[in-house]
Amino acid sequence: MQLRRFYRVVDDRVGTSTVLRKALAKVFPDHWTFMFGEIALYSFITLILTGLFLTLFFVPSTAETTYQGVYEPLAGTEISAAFASTVSLSFDVRAGLLFRQAHHWSALIFIAAIVMHLLRIFFTAAYRRPREINWLIGVTMLALALLNGFTGYSMPDDLLSGTGLRIIYSVILSIPLLGPWLAFLIFGGEFPGDAIVPRLFITHVFLVPAALVVLISAHLAIVVRQKHSQFPGPGRGESNTVGSRFWPAYTMRTIALFAAVLAVAFALGGVAQINPVWIYGPYGPAQATSPAQPDWYVAWGDGALRLFPPVEFTVFGYLVPAPFLPGVVVGGLIFVLLYAWPFIDRRLSRDTATHELLQRPRDHPVRVAIGAGSLAFLAILLIAAVDDVIARFTHLPVVAVLWVLRVLALLLPFVVGAVAYAITRSVRDRSAPDPEPTAASPPAQRGEQPEPAGIDLWHNRLNETWRWRWRGREGRELISHVAFLDRDSAVAGAQLAYPDTPIDDVTPPPTPPRPITGRAGSALLAIALLAIGRRRRGNGRRTGR
């Protein structure tokens, strides 16, 4: 009662009812591909929740300390405080290993969901006007997610993460003129040093998450302002959105999805081992571990370093070392093309109009070919990151595996792109709609006129509710799944879904007869409930005596 009174006071002064009513009535598309963005959001929330727990126990320092935990192989060993706290978190803190691994798995799911979300936007052309800004925000979030994932698994100061840091340090140094200055700014001096782990901690825990929160908030605000795009279909146009309302249908569904993401992350954290730093051991500059592969989202960069030939050259007297082209140019070129793609597409297609409907991938074979070829190239880079593992299992020389992957990196993208283009064009031609009727076509000869779109509104007197139905051409129709308590609410809901569409009051449509099996089942259920009730009353009377 007091809460309701407080809300009325606030609403009387601020006017929140109108905003909340409009927000709760917002319609979200029901297509399953729109779930990737929500999975990314909920994985990020899981990362924050598990990261808060880990922050309480991790020590971001490379100062030497004596390990005195329960892991006997390291007992009495002088190791860094960062590595010691990670091992203690895994073995000495209750549920520490569960939270560590759930945090790591959530990071993998987070980046995978962002990638799938971007692929959905790319192949359906959801980046077209007016959504170019959200595409740029999404690419930036992908870059920040890669950065935060790398800084996260580099903090424990184990042998695997130290090897990755040594590679990144070499790549940064390879940048002409600016490399030494950037390396000093990031690492605080030569690697290994005492400043890198605290800087990784600040970047991973504070800077990048804060930037992601700002970008996610801006992304969601733009989506709310511009509304969702949707696939073409019956009753779907440039001025409406067909799907589920935010309350209650979409809210229940998205809460269930959040619970599923949380459950999957902790289930993987409990049963699937990941990043066992105690096996790798502490980092030592004179040591290296093999095989050594980073997480999949940065493994393509490692694969490029392994795959690219050791080419060095001089520019204006400055030596450009071999890691520069695969480590800086390849990755930089990929993100430059990602940022520029909406504008490249608009320039090539000469399409500057505003679009609310998505394009089906099958209708644009060139885009599908470009996307498939690019994914094939990145897949080869990803496989190249495990060339030593492939050589071990196939008993082939690493050099032979490397040359096979080099040839595939040059040829496979074009082959995959050509095959994707041929398949997509074939599917498009087979599913092409019938040509529009002309003046000499049979409908015009019979004098038939297409029925205009409209909305039927009726009153259901059995439960005193109002329903509406969109009626389109060629007998297509969509019935609202929401029952309204009064006519005005039903009219408002219909106009919100299909603005500027005429509304007609009609008689309620006939209710389809219930099948015999349904009637028989209902009758059997009623008889069973009646028998159980009588038996319970009989037991009660016997107990009373």
pTM of the model: 0.79
The rounded percent of the chain whose pLDDT value lies above 70 is 87
* 299: nearest Cα among 389, 201, 379: 379
pLDDT score recorded for residue 322: 92
Listed range (6-15, 124-133, 315-324, 414-423) with the worst mean pLDDT: 6-15
Mean pLDDT throughout 218-224? 91
CATH of domain 2-285: 1.20.810.10
Mean pLDDT throughout 186-212? 93
Where are the CATH 3.30.160 domain residues in the chain? 454-505
pLDDT score recorded for residue 522: 56
Contacts of 183 (CB under 8 A, 6+ apart): 169, 172, 173, 191
Mean pLDDT throughout 463-467? 79
What average pLDDT is seen over the chain? 85
Q: Which residue has the higher pLDDT, 372 or 457?
A: 372
DSSP character at residue 34? G
Confidence of residue 430 (pLDDT cuts 50, 70, 90): confident
Tens of pLDDT, residue by residue over 370-416, are: 999 999 999 999 999 999 999 999 999 999 999 999 999 999 999 99
Residue type at 307? L
Where are the CATH 1.20.810.10 domain residues in the chain? 2-285
pLDDT score recorded for residue 446: 41
Look up residue 300 and give its two tokens.
Answer: 């393509």
* 62: nearest Cα among 198, 159, 201, 206: 198
Q: Which residue has the higher pLDDT, 432 or 254?
A: 254
CA dihedral defined by 169, 171, 172, 173, rounded to 10 degrees? 80
Task: With a cut of 60, say whether residue 67 has pLDDT above it.
Answer: yes
Listed range (17-21, 199-203, 279-283, 384-388) with the worst mean pLDDT: 17-21
CATH of domain 454-505: 3.30.160
| Cα separations in angstroms, 169 against 181, 202, 282, 321 | 12, 18, 19, 13
Q: Which residue do the tokens 């219930």 mark? A: 514
Q: What share of the chain is helix, strand, coil (3-state, %, to 5)?
A: 65, 10, 30
Half-sphere exposure of 167 (CA within 13 A, CB side): 23
